[in-house]
Amino acid sequence: PERLVITKYYQWIEAVEEAIKVLEKTCDKIYLIGNSFGGNLALVSSNKSKKIKGVVTLGTPIHFRREKINRFFILPILKRIKLFQKKKYKKGITNINKKRVCYNSIPLIALGHLLKVVNISKKSVRNIKKPLLVIQTKNDTVVDKSSGEYIINNSKSKIKKLVTIPESYHVFILDKHRKKAYAEILKFIK
């Protein structure tokens, strides 16, 4: 997580755009699939290549639960007194978290950059004409359910679908309903 302290929001976007350029050399069709914040990066990068044939977002934040309290009160205060924030999880999902590849803590300065990308992705949605699959969970403790609706309702895509996974948590692709998500993605790509 120490590297995140010096990483800027535009570097995440540039990294995705570079990966798209690499894929363009060997692939006829590219589908951008992003989990959580990766979905925001996919939305921002969706028009970077004609070879991109569709975008899939998985639990992607446009709006966060308890967003106003966290963004305007808690985060500005914490950034002044604390460098890293340890992630906290509800009981019952600790086994799932063992499968995850992620940081156990996040530098609070990186949250500001994450929020910038979320805002950019929110604006980018209006320009998306590519086919779009948005999957989210009903019980996400991080992302507000209005996020998926926002992406669907504000994109210009003619082919778009919102799928809600029942009783799961934020990273539902590792949870008990993951096969439903996988099946939806496969159907979308075919």
Identify the pLDDT of residue 68.
47
Answer for the pair 147, 153: CB distance below 8 angstroms, yes or no. Answer: no
pLDDT digits (tens, 9 = 90+) for 8-47: 999 999 999 999 999 999 999 999 999 999 999 999 999 9
What burial class does residue 155 get, using C-beta atoms within 10 Å of its C-beta: 0-12 exposed, 13-18 middle, 19+ buried? buried
Half-sphere exposure of 145 (CA within 13 A, CB side): 11
Task: For CA atoms 23, 29, 35, 38, give the dihedral sign.
Answer: positive
Q: In this structure, what are the phi and psi dihedrals at residue 159, rounded to the nearest 5 degrees?
A: -110, 110
Mean pLDDT, rounded, for 157-173: 89
C-alpha distances (whole Å) from 133 to each of 12, 40, 50, 76 are 22, 13, 18, 34
Rounded to the nearest angstrom, the gap between the alpha carbon of residue 58 and the centroid of all alpha carbons in its chain is 6
- Which two tokens mark 135? 């999957």
* Spatial distance between the Cα atoms of 83 and 30, rounded to a whole number of angstroms: 38
More confident residue, 146 or 80: 146
* Spatial distance between the Cα atoms of 184 and 174, rounded to a whole number of angstroms: 15
Identify the pLDDT of residue 120.
98
| pTM of the predicted structure, to 2 decimals | 0.82
Identify the pLDDT of residue 73.
43
Q: Flag whether pLDDT at 65 surpasses 90.
A: no
Report angle CA 166, 128, 14 to the nearest 5 degrees: 95
- Cβ contacts of 72 within 8 Å, gap of 6 or more: none
Identify the pLDDT of residue 85.
46
Q: Flag whether pLDDT at 79 surpasses 70.
A: no
- Cβ contacts of 103 within 8 Å, gap of 6 or more: 1, 4, 87
- Please, what are the domains in the chain? 2-189 (3.40.50.1820)
pLDDT digits (tens, 9 = 90+) for 124-144: 999 999 999 999 998 888 899
* Spatial distance between the Cα atoms of 6 and 57, rounded to a whole number of angstroms: 26
Q: Flag whether pLDDT at 72 surpasses 50.
A: no
* Spatial distance between the Cα atoms of 6 and 169, rounded to a whole number of angstroms: 30
